[in-house]
Amino acid sequence: MPRFRFRRPLSRRILLYTSASLLFLLLVTSLTPIISPLPPYTGQYEVGILDLETAVPRRAVHSAVLKETGEKAFELATLALTLYYPSALPSSPAQPWARPWLPQPVSLVGTGYARLVGVRFAPLQALVTFFLWAFGANTVIPGVVDAPVLMGANATWVGNGNGNGEGLGKLRGVEDEGRGLRTMDEERTLPCVVFTHGMAGMSQSYSHYLGSIASHGYVVAAVEHRDGSGPGSIVHYPDGGERYVWHIKLEDLEAELPMTLSELKAAQLTFREAEIQETIRLLRLLNAGHGHLLQNLKPDSPRESLPGFANRLNMSAVTVAGHSYGATGALQVLKNAPSEPMPVNGAIVLDPGKGSGLLNKDVDVPALVIDSGEWTEKQVEFYGEGWHFDVVRKLVDTTKKGWFMTLTGSAHPSCTDAPLIVPWIMKLATGTTLNAKVALEEYISTSVRFLEYLRDGEKKELLRSDVTSPEGPLGDAEKRVKIKGKHGADWEVHVTPEA
Ligand X SMILES: *[C@@H]1O[C@H](CO)[C@@H](O)[C@H](O)[C@H]1NC(C)=O
Helix (H, G, I), strand (E, B) or coil at 80: strand
H runs (alpha helix) in 137-233: 207-215
Instruction: Measure the CA–CA gap between 402 and 467, rounded to whole angstroms.
Output: 12
324 is annotated as an active-site residue: yes
- Return the residue of 15, 27, 153, 481 that touches ligand X, per CB under 6 A: 153
What are residue 75's phi and psi, to 5 degrees?
A: -100, 125
Contact in structure between 214 and 86 (CB atoms under 8 Å): yes
Options 51, 146, 227, 351, the catalytic residue: 351
Site string for ligand X, 230-249 (x = CB under 6 A): --------------------
Full 3-state SS string of 27-67? HHHHHCCCCCCCCCCCCCCCEEEEEEEEEEEEEECCCCEEC
Instruction: Measure the CA–CA gap between 309 and 474, rounded to whole angstroms.
Output: 48
Quote the least distance from Cβ 129 to ligand X, whole Å: 44
Is position 154 an interface residue for ligand X (rule: CB under 6 A)?
A: yes
Calculate ∠ Cα 321-376-493, nearest 5°.
75
Instruction: Measure the CA–CA gap between 432 and 418, rounded to whole angstroms.
Output: 13
351 is annotated as an active-site residue: yes
Residue ranges in 317-376 that form contacts with ligand X under rule CB under 6 A = 317
Quote the least distance from Cβ 312 to ligand X, whole Å: 10
Q: Which is nearer to ligand X, 161 or 299 (CB)?
A: 161
Quote the least distance from Cβ 344 to ligand X, whole Å: 12
Site string for ligand X, 178-217 (x = CB under 6 A): ---------xxx----------------------------
Neighbours of 389 (CB within 10 A): 23
Q: Which is nearer to ligand X, 9 or 457 (CB)?
A: 457
Q: Which is nearer to ligand X, 190 or 330 (CB)?
A: 190
Options 197, 388, 412, 494, the catalytic residue: 412
* Of 199, 200, 198, the residue nearest 209 (C-alpha): 198
Quote the least distance from Cβ 455 to ligand X, whole Å: 4
Q: Which is nearer to ligand X, 159 or 240 (CB)?
A: 159
Exposure on the CB side of residue 403, measured as CA atoms within 13 A: 28
One-letter amino acid for residue 297 of the chain:
L
Q: Which is nearer to ligand X, 19 or 154 (CB)?
A: 154
Quote the least distance from Cβ 216 to ligand X, whole Å: 14
Q: Which is nearer to ligand X, 314 or 465 (CB)?
A: 314
Q: What is the bridge-based pairing of β-strands 313-323 and 344-350?
A: parallel
Options 87, 205, 305, 324, the catalytic residue: 324
Is position 69 an interface residue for ligand X (rule: CB under 6 A)?
A: no
Site string for ligand X, 277-316 (x = CB under 6 A): -------------------------------------x-x
Residue ranges in 437-466 that form contacts with ligand X under rule CB under 6 A = 454-455
Is position 156 an interface residue for ligand X (rule: CB under 6 A)?
A: no
Quote the least distance from Cβ 154 to ligand X, whole Å: 4
Q: Which is nearer to ligand X, 188 or 378 (CB)?
A: 188
445 is annotated as an active-site residue: no
Q: Report CA torsion sign: 440, 441, 444, 446.
A: negative
Contact in structure between 419 and 468 (CB atoms under 8 Å): no
Q: Which is nearer to ligand X, 19 or 316 (CB)?
A: 316
User: How many residues make contact with ligand X (CB under 6 A)?
Assistant: 10
Q: What is the bridge-based pairing of β-strands 403-407 and 219-223?
A: unpaired
Burial grade of 306 (CB within 10 A; 0-12, 13-18, 19 or more): buried
Quote the least distance from Cβ 219 to ligand X, whole Å: 12
Quote the least distance from Cβ 366 to ligand X, whole Å: 11
DSSP for 175-191, please give it: TTTTTT--B-SSS-PEE
Quote the least distance from Cβ 253 to ligand X, whole Å: 41
Contact in structure between 451 and 314 (CB atoms under 8 Å): no
| DSSP bridge partners of 204 | none
Q: For residue 47, give every residue at least 6 positions away whose Cβ sits within 8 Å of its Cβ, in sequence order, or none.
A: 41, 84, 85, 86, 87, 98, 142, 143, 144, 147, 211, 214, 215
Q: Which is nearer to ligand X, 188 or 486 (CB)?
A: 188
| DSSP bridge partners of 151 | 183
Instruction: Measure the CA–CA gap between 275 and 98, rounded to whole angstroms.
Output: 25
The catalytic residue positions are 324, 351, 412
Residues binding ligand X (CB under 6 A): 153-154, 187-189, 314, 316-317, 454-455
